[in-house]
Structure 1
Amino acid sequence: MILLHLFFLLILHHTPVTLLEFRYHSNQEIKEYLLQVSAGNPDITHLYSIGQSVRGQELWVLALGVSPGQHTVGVPEFKYVGNIHGNEVLGRVLLLHLIDDLVRGYRNNETWSLQLLNSTRIHIMPTMNPDGFDSSDTDCMYSQGRFNHNGMDLNRNFPDAFAAQTLEEDEREAEVRAVMGWLRTETFVLSANLHGGALVASYAYDNSNRGSELINGASVSPDDDVFVHLAKEYSYNHATMHNGNRCAESTPFLHGITNGFEWYALSGGMQDYNYVWAQCLELTLEISCCKFPPVSELPGMWKDNRKALLSFIQQVHLGVKGRVFDSFGAPVQNAVVDVVGRRNICPFKTNQHGEYYRLLLPGNYTLTVMVTYPGYEVLTETLTIPYGPDHYSALKHDFFLQNATTTTRQPSSPRHSITCNHSVHLSAGGASVRAVWTGFAVVLFMVALSVDN
C-alpha cells in the first residue's frame, strides 16, 4: 500500500494541471482545483485557509512563490481578493486563471512568471464570500447574493478611520474577522480586491470626516501620488479601462481611475482598512459593467485583464525596502519608518524581522526611523529611489540605529488624528492560519477526485 501511495504521489507531481475551463466554478470545484494545483506544485504553491464563512465554508488562499509556505526576508507579500460581494463573480474566474497562468508559465520556464515568483510571494483568494455566491443569481445589476449569509455587506463591515467604531472585532462578520486576522499574520505590501458593476480602478480614501484630507471633493491620502500611479498602472494595462468608458447609469472616469470618496462615500471598506491599519496599499478594481457576465464573454474578459493583473503585481517592487537594526546588530520590531511629508493616520512599522516596505515613486525622499525605548536618537536619511518594478526589486536600504551620545531622551511618537486601536501586530508566517492537509492524505484525496474543469 505504501508503494501505491508513492506511485500516486509521483504521478501527481509530474502530471499537468487539468485544463481550466472558462465558466463559473462552484465553491466545491474551486476547492478541488486549488487542492489539485497545490498537490501538483508543492515547490511553488501553498494552500491554506484563513477561516470560515458564516455557513462554515473555508476561505481558501493559494500562495505562490519559490518559498510559498513562509515569508522570506526581503521578499514582499502581495494579495488579490475576489468575490467580497457574492454576486460580483468575474474576479473568481480571473483569479483562477491567473493561478493557472502563473503555474504554467513557471513550469514552462517563461521569463515573466519566473521573475514574478522568484521575487514575490503572491496570495490569491478567489472568493471571500462563498455563501453569497451560493445564493446569487445571474442578473447584471441587482444585488441578490451581494451580502453574506447574515445579510451583511462585507465591504461595509471593517473598522473605519473616519467613522465612530460601534463594533468590537468579535462582533464583526466571520469573513471580516478572518481577513483582519490574516492581516496580522503577513506583512502585505500591495493588494487589490476585485468587484463588478463598473469599469474603473478606485483608490483610497473611500471615506472622509471632511477634515484636511478633503480636497476638491476627493479624500486624499498621504500616498495619493502612489495610489494614482497604481490605479493608472492597472487601467492602462487593461484593454479598455483607461478609455474611461462608462457603464450604464455611471459617469465616465478620467484615465479609468477614481478616488473612492470622490466617486461615492463608503464607510467600513476593506480598502481603507488595509491601508490605514495594515500598512498595505490596496485598490478596488471594478472589472466588468455586468456583475455576472455571460459565460461566452469570459475568455475575452480574461484577455482584457491578464496584462493588468500581472503588471499590478509587479508594482509591489516600487520604492524602498530594508531592515532596521539596533546598535548591537539585532533587528528592531515596531520601529516607526516615516517618510517626511507623509503623515499617515497610523505609522508604518517594522515587522518581527525588523523589515519595512514603503511604496514610493522615483525621486528623493527623507526617511526618519524612531523607536519607542530610550537611548536611541531619531535616525534621518535622504534616499534617491529609482523605479524598482523594472528590476523586480525595490531599492534595498537598511537603517542602523545608534545610541544617543549627547542626549538620552526618548524619541517622541508621531502625532495622528486617531488612535490606532485596531492596528495589527505584524509578524510573518502566522501560526494562526490553518495549513491545508499535506502528504499522503492529499494524495489519497486527489486520487478520489473527479474534477470537472
Structure 2
Amino acid sequence: MMLSTDKTFPVACSWCLWTLLSLCYGLEFRYHNSAEVEKYLREVTRNYPSFTYRYNIGRSVEGRHLWVLVLGKSPKEHNVGIPEFKYVGNMHGNEVVGRVLLLQLIDYLTKGYHNNPFVTRLLDSTRVHILPSMNPDGFESSSRDCMAGFGRYNSNGVDLNRNFPDIFSGEDEERREFEVLAIMDWMKQERFVLSANLHGGAVVASYPYDNSNRGGELQEGASVSPDNDVFIHLAKTYSYSHTQMHRGNACSDSNFPHGITNGYQWYALPGGMQDYNYVWQQCLEITLELSCCKFPPERELPGFWEANRPALLAYMQQVHLGVKGQVLDADGNPVQNALVEVEGRINLCPFRSGPYGEYYRLLLPGNYTFKVTFPGHEMLIETLTVPYGPENFSALKHNFLLERSVNASTPPTPTKPCSTSGVQPQDSHSAALLATPIITLLPLLLISLLM
C-alpha cells in the first residue's frame, strides 16, 4: 500500500483527531434545565469572548429569559456582506432533541473555530445565532414521555407554532404570546437570511408554505411558494446530509420521499413560524423534525448528534446561495426599502433592501433578471449569472447602482404592500420550479470531505 503524498492528508488526520477529542471531552449528553443552559451559555462567552456573544430577546410567560448565543468573526454587530443565520429549538416544550443538538452545535463550533478549517470559514463568513429554547416553560413542565403532548404549549396553553401572523388567514388581531412577540421583535432587529426551527415527532424536513387560501399557490395538494426550487434544495441538503432522513421511513408510520415534504401537503398549519419568516421577514426557513420520539432516553442523544451534525453544518452553509450586495442611489449612497424583485418570483411581501442598502436573494445557479425600484430613480433591470456560492462561502456579490429619474411624477414610495392578491399560479417554465438534483448534491460532497 502506497502512502498518500496529498497535502490534505495530514490536515484530514488532524481533523479526525480533533473530532475524537471533541467526542471525549465535549458537552455532556443529557437534558440540561433552563438554569443550566443559561450557565453554559455564560461560560461559553467567558471562554470564547472574541467570537461569541450572548444576548436576551425577551422572556417567557413565567419570566424565563430567551437566551441567544451568536457566533462569528464580529459577534456583537452586523457587518455589511455577512449574512445572518439562525437556528431555533424547543418551540414545542416537549420536543427536546433539537434543544440538545443546538447546545452540542455550540460546543462543536466553539472548539472548532481556528482548529477545523470548515468551521473557521463558516464563522468567518457568517453570523450565526442560536436560540436553544423558544419555550423554556413548556420544557420545564414536560414529562419525559415519548409522544405525550404535556409540555408542548407555553404556560398560557398556547401552541406557539399557531400564533404568528398568517398571510393566508389575514393579519388578524389575535393575541400574540410573549415568546412569539420576542421572535417577531428579534427578526425586526436582525435581518436573517436563512433559518431552521427544530422539532420532534417525525424525521423529515418540511418547507413552506404551511398554509393556503386555496388560491393559485395550491398545486397538486402542495402550497407552492415562488422560491419552491430553493426550498426543495434546502430541505434536500439537510435530509441527504443526515444519515437516515433522506430514506423517508425513519418512523414506522412515515413515508416521505427524499425525507422532505411541503408543509401544507403534510397538513395545513395556520399561524406557523416558517411561513411568517418567509412571507413577512424575507428569511427562508424550514422546519426540521428530528426524532420519532419527542422525548427520547438520554442514552440515545449521542446517536442523534452523529446523525444530525453533518446536516446542521451543511444547512448553515446554504446561507451563501444566490446573490448579495447593496442598492445605491445616483450619488452612490446605500438606500433602504428599495424593491429588489426577481423575474418569475412574485413574493407576497416583496423583498426590499435593508439598512445599509443590503439585499440577499437565495437562488440556485442560473440566469436571473432583477428589477430594482426606488422612489426618485429609474427602474433598474439587470440579468445576472449566479454561480454556486456555498462552496466558496459567499454568494455572488453585486451592487445595483440606480440612476436619478427625470420624471417628476415618480411615486414617493414603492407601492407593493403584502397582500394575498399576489398569489398567482406559477409558470411551469419559471426558475422557481426547475429541478436541480446535481446542485443539491454539491454541498453533500463537500461535507463528506470535511467530516
**Please, what TM-score do these two structures have when normalized by structure 2?**
0.86
Confirm whether residue 50 of structure 1 aligns to residue 53 of structure 2.
no
Aligned counterpart in structure 1 of residue 301 of structure 2, from 282, 288, 298: 298
**C-alpha displacement of 1:247:** 1.7
- Cα shift at 1:166: 3.2
Alignment of 1:105-116 (within 5 A): 105-107=112-114, 109-116=115-122
Q: Cα–Cα, structure 1 residues 282 and 143, in superposed 2: closer, same or farther, change >3 Å?
A: same
Once residues 364 and 161 of structure 1 are traced to their aligned partners in structure 2, the CA distance between those partners, rounded to angstroms, is: 29
Q: Which runs of 4+ in 1 moved over 6 A?
A: none
1:198 is aligned to 2:202 = yes
For 1:100-149, what per-residue CA distance to the aligned partner results, in whole angstroms no more than 9, with x for missing partners? 00010014x21011100000000000000000001001111110000000
1:387 aligns with 2:388: yes
CA distance in 1, matches of 2:140, 2:421: 38
| SS of alignment partner, residue 141 of structure 1 | coil
1:126-176 Cα deviation digits (max 9, x unpaired): 0000000010011111100000000000000000011133325xx310000
Alpha-carbon separation, structure 2, partners of 1:92 and 1:232? 22
Equivalent position to 2:45, from 38, 50, 73: 38
What secondary structure sits across from 2:41 in the alignment? Answer: helix
1:415 & 1:83 partners in 2: Cα distance?
A: 33
> Structure 1 residue 403: deviation in Å?
1.1
Whether 1:103 and 2:107 are equivalent positions in the alignment is: no
Taking only the aligned residue pairs, the percentage that are identical comes to 62
Q: Distance in 2 between matches of 1:301 and 1:253?
A: 19
Partner of 2:191: 187
Alignment equivalent of 2:135, drawn from 129, 146, 165: 129
Match of 2:83 in 1: 76
Q: Does residue 210 in structure 1 map to residue 214 in structure 2?
A: yes
Query: Distance between the aligned counterparts of 2:158 and 2:266, measured in 1?
Result: 22
Report if the CA contact (8 A) 2:279-2:347 is conserved.
yes
Matching residue's letter, 1:255: H
- TM-score with structure 1 setting the length: 0.86
1:161 aligns with 2:167: yes
TM-fit CA distance, 1:329 = 1.2
CA–CA distance in structure 2, aligned partners of residues 301 and 281 of structure 1? 25
For 2:206 and 2:159, locate their aligned partners in 1 and report how far apart those are by CA, in whole Å. Answer: 18
Two-structure CA RMSD over aligned residues (Å): 1.7
Aligned residue type for 2:230: V
3-state SS, counterpart of residue 172 of structure 1: coil
Contact 1:363 1:386 in 2 (8 A): yes
Within 2, Cα distance between the matches of 1:342 and 1:166?
26
Q: Is the 8 A contact 2:244 2:250 kept in 1?
A: no
Checking the alignment, whether the CA contact within 8 Å between 2:338 and 2:414 is kept in structure 1 is: no
Q: Does 1:142 align with 2:148?
A: yes
- The reply on whether 1:234 has 2:241 as its aligned counterpart is no
Contact 1:376 1:408 in 2 (8 A): no
- C-alpha contact 1:327 1:400 (8 A) present in aligned 2: yes
3-state DSSP class of the match of 2:205?
A: strand
- Residues 12-31 of structure 1 show CA distances to partners (whole Å, capped at 9, x for unaligned) of xxxx9x84100100110000
Change (3 A) 1:326 1:122: same
- What is the distance in 2 between the residues matched to 1:154 and 1:408? 46
Q: Does structure 1 conserve the Cα–Cα contact (< 8 Å) formed by 2:162 and 2:271?
A: yes
Alignment of 1:4-19 (within 5 A): 19=26
Contact 1:343 1:416 in 2 (8 A): no
Is 2:274 aligned against 1:267?
Answer: no
Correspondence for 2:443: none
Q: 5+ residue gaps in structure 2?
A: 1-21, 423-451
Q: Letter of the aligned partner of 2:362 in structure 1?
A: L
Q: Which of 405, 412, 415 in structure 2 is aligned with 1:413?
A: 415
**Which one scores higher on RCO, CA 8 angstroms, separation ≥ 6?**
1
Distance 2:224 2:408 in 1: 37
The answer on 1:353 being equivalent to 2:330 is no
Gaps of 5+ in 1: 1-15, 421-453
Where do 1:265-414 residues align within 5 Å? 265-371=268-374, 373=375, 375-405=376-406, 408-410=409-411, 413-414=415-416
The DSSP-based 3-state class of the residue aligned with 2:371 is: strand
The one-letter code matched in structure 1 to 2:249 is: N
Give the corresponding residue for 1:433: none
Amino acid at match of 1:148: N
Q: CA deviation at 1:416?
A: 5.5
Q: Distance in 1 between matches of 2:192 and 2:419?
A: 24
Distance 1:164 1:383 in 2: 35
Counterpart CA distance in 2 for 1:211 and 1:84 is 29
Is 1:246–1:253's contact at 8 Å kept on the other side of the alignment?
Answer: no
Q: Distance in 1 between matches of 2:359 and 2:28?
A: 40
CA distance in 1, matches of 2:197, 2:287: 5
Q: Distance in 2 between matches of 1:183 and 1:415?
A: 19
Q: Which amino acid aligns with 1:401?
A: L
- d(CA) in 2 for partners of 1:407, 1:240: 60
